Amino acid sequence: MDLQRLDSYQGGAGPDFHEHVLHKTILVGDSGVGKTSLLVQFDQGKFVPGSFSATVGIGFTVMLLGDSGVGKTCFLIRFRDGAFLSGTFIATVGIDFRNKVVTVDGVRVKLQIWDTAGQERFRSVTHAYYRDAQALLLLYDITNKSSFDNIRAWLTEIHEYAQRDVVIMLLGNKILGTRYMDEDLRWERVNLNYRHPFEAGHHPFAKRSYPPSP
């Protein structure tokens, strides 16, 4: 089967972006007919032969949010493929998604992870997806104060568009990016961030960065 990718669907923000490419498509059919293979072919542009593994039944949708450039796409690639996406920064267009199966307490769980564009101009598109998410990872860049200051605005949007019981995790990214900073300034900034109410226990909090220290 010949599948045409929509170039504007993934990466490379440009004037050709149209909201109509963001419609949802659901693959249905008997187990083994080739739904997953079709999706992989669409995503990677090639047929991946190999052992058939039935798609897991339990699934959750997780959404990555935060200002443009805080590292959402890099975080996702790292989580899914274990690789750090270095080099030129290509802003996400609208929304993109990837799947990952994880095992929790012996149960295989499929995570569908939505990577959203941080740029303001895509907000009206991404808002439509908030309600489907069971968990939100809200990222900021620990080397960029405004990305942290904007967390309040992100929370306002979350409260407006997401489910009431959605799980929110605040995640300070690029810890290693602070290497060039003076040590005192660096820790002052980290402590400043830790005094945010998130730390009071209302929400889980995590720090994350890569690549690993040399």
Ligand X SMILES: Nc1nc2c(ncn2[C@@H]2O[C@H](COP(=O)(O)OP(=O)(O)OP(=O)(O)O)[C@@H](O)[C@H]2O)c(=O)[nH]1
Site string for ligand X, 167-206 (x = CB under 6 A): ------xx-xx-----------------------------
- Applying CB under 6 A, which of residues 113, 118, 158, 171 lies at the interface with ligand X? 118
Is 10 a binding residue for ligand X by CB under 6 A? The answer is no
Between the two ends of the chain, the Cα-to-Cα distance in Å is 45
Which is closer to ligand X, CB of 61 or CB of 173? 173
Pair of tokens at residue 213: 């220290």
Q: What is the DSSP letter of 131?
A: T
The C-alpha angle 173, 120, 199, rounded to 5 degrees, equals: 35
- Applying CB under 6 A, which of residues 73, 111, 158, 162 lies at the interface with ligand X? 73
Is 117 a binding residue for ligand X by CB under 6 A? The answer is yes
| Total number of residues that touch ligand X (CB under 6 A) | 21
- Applying CB under 6 A, which of residues 89, 128, 145, 187 lies at the interface with ligand X? 89
Look-up: residue for tokens 């019981």? 165
Look-up: residue for tokens 């083994």? 32
Least distance from ligand X to the Cβ atom of residue 58, Å: 27
Side-chain-facing half-sphere of 177: CA atoms under 13 Å: 18
Which is closer to ligand X, CB of 118 or CB of 133? 118
A 10 A CB-CB count for 69 gives: 16
How far apart (Å, rounded) are the C-alpha atoms in residues 11 and 92? 5
Residues found near ligand X in the complex (CB under 6 A): 66, 68-74, 86, 89, 91-92, 117-119, 173-174, 176-177, 209-210
